[in-house]
Structure 1
Amino acid sequence: MPATRFVHLVRHAEPAPDGSGLTARGRGQAELLGERLGRLPLTSLHHGPLPRAAETARIVGERAGVRPEPAATAGDYVPHVPRRDELPPHLADFYLGFLADTPPEEAEAGRALARRATDLYTGPAEGDTVRHDVVVTHNFLVAWLVREALHAPRWRWLGINHSHASLTTIRHTPGRAPYLHVQNDMSHLTPESRWTDAPPEEHV
């Protein structure tokens, strides 16, 4: 019989401007997140290949006592480029403009990775033991999996945003719809380390 599975989705902590990893503040964010996740019986910790995700996962793993494992499915990619007729007319120009620089080959690779990520990071656990799986990734994939949990149209990953080192947890219980347990939660962070990806007027 399948068991309940908690999938903990983490956007990487604040990145260094040169792409080499995290800022000092970002490392602090990752430490606080690791302390929070360390209170759970974690089963796995996957992370994307880019330095900002890899360093976040390393720090989280050290604090939470779990070994990080790299996964291309947790990388930074566009999961779905919608056609114009998929989008509400009043939003089409904005979102198609946002995605206009995505080359066709990159869009196809993103679709394939998103399909694999959906298979890996959704659904109840196999066997009879509850799982807690952590995925340290990027905003686009977190948004895609939130959209999947809500059974929203494929284009609706657009406009769902998550902050640095925030936690989004989706519970997959057999026989039930996925439950969005928490989203973009930053309660583990200090006030000065929250909303580091947003201008002051967007802090709430």
Structure 2
Amino acid sequence: MATRHLYVVRHGAADPFGELTEVGRRQSELVADRLACLPIDVVWHSPLPRAVRSARIIGERLPRVPVREAAELVDHVPHVPERVPPAWAGFFDGYDAAEAAAGARLADSLVERFARPAESETHEVLVTHAYPVAWLVRHALDAPPVRWLGLDCGNAAVTAIRYHDGAAPAVLVYNDMGHLPPGLRWTGFGPGVRP
């Protein structure tokens, strides 16, 4: 087994219908430029339109790198805690057991497919959504399942995780938006002080 390098990227900013905005397109271009210096082997993306379009923009700026869909990257709630923290009560209100089980199955599939060493040295970009990013980070840190809650992820932010046979996963970078100018960071979040 060899090292798998995952560069997990949340899609660019999108409108309420899931289509990238002008800001989201620019964010996708900038994250592609950031990744261009790396030996990327493949760009995987969620089947949802905002991730598909972000991945295509990234692929256009990474010549000869294949861009492919991975159903495991779809937006989903990976874990519903038995005791919901009060701050999250409204979010989980009405969330039933079948939805929770479906989300857990998707989370298991995501981990099984991507959160492990590869057969050969690989550098893969995963264009996905905030919750799968949080789940992969939580998994890499071997944190309790409830810890995915509150791991915020900005649009077009980069999270880098390394998987090497015989070693624990390493979270090298989390939610890095250094490639984005200040006006393009933390889009989609409410007002507040942000680094």
Structure 1 residue 162, shift from structure 2 partner: 0.4
Structure 1 residue 98, shift from structure 2 partner: 2.3
- Matching of residues 97-116 of structure 1 within 5 Å: 97-116=90-109
- Matching of residues 1-204 of structure 1 within 5 Å: 2-19=1-18, 21-65=19-63, 66-84=65-83, 92-127=85-120, 130-204=121-195
Contact preservation (8 Å) 2:41, 2:66: no
Q: Which moved more, 1:162-171 or 1:8-17?
A: 8-17
* Structure 2: stretches of 5+ with no match in the other structure: none
Aligned to 2:47, the other structure's residue is in SS state coil
> Aligned letter for 1:55?
R
Aligned residues: 194
**C-alpha distance in 1 between matches for 2:55 and 2:139:** 24
**C-alpha distance in 2 between matches for 1:55 and 1:7:** 19
Contact preservation (8 Å) 1:47, 1:68: yes
Structure 1 residue 191, shift from structure 2 partner: 2.0
Contact preservation (8 Å) 1:39, 1:64: no
**C-alpha distance in 2 between matches for 1:96 and 1:145:** 23
**C-alpha distance in 2 between matches for 1:181 and 1:77:** 24
Contact preservation (8 Å) 1:147, 1:153: yes
**C-alpha distance in 2 between matches for 1:52 and 1:101:** 26
> TM-score of the superposition, structure 2-length normalised?
0.93
Aligned to 1:201, the other structure's residue is in SS state coil
**C-alpha distance in 2 between matches for 1:96 and 1:156:** 15
> TM-score of the superposition, structure 1-length normalised?
0.89
**C-alpha distance in 1 between matches for 2:7 and 2:41:** 11
Sort the Cα spacing of 1:158 and 1:132 in 2 relative to 1 into closer, same or farther, 3 A: same
Root-mean-square deviation (CA), in Å? 1.5
**C-alpha distance in 2 between matches for 1:101 and 1:76:** 18
**C-alpha distance in 2 between matches for 1:53 and 1:102:** 24
Aligned to 1:140, the other structure's residue is in SS state helix
- Give the share of equivalent positions with the same residue, in percent: 46
Structure 1 residue 200, shift from structure 2 partner: 4.2
**C-alpha distance in 2 between matches for 1:64 and 1:203:** 30
* Structure 1: stretches of 5+ with no match in the other structure: none
Structure 1 residue 64, shift from structure 2 partner: 1.6
Q: Which moved more, 1:118-127 or 1:6-15?
A: 118-127
Provide Cα deviations, 1:76-128, integer angstroms capped at 9, x if missing partner. 111111112xx6xxxx333344222323322211111110100111111113x
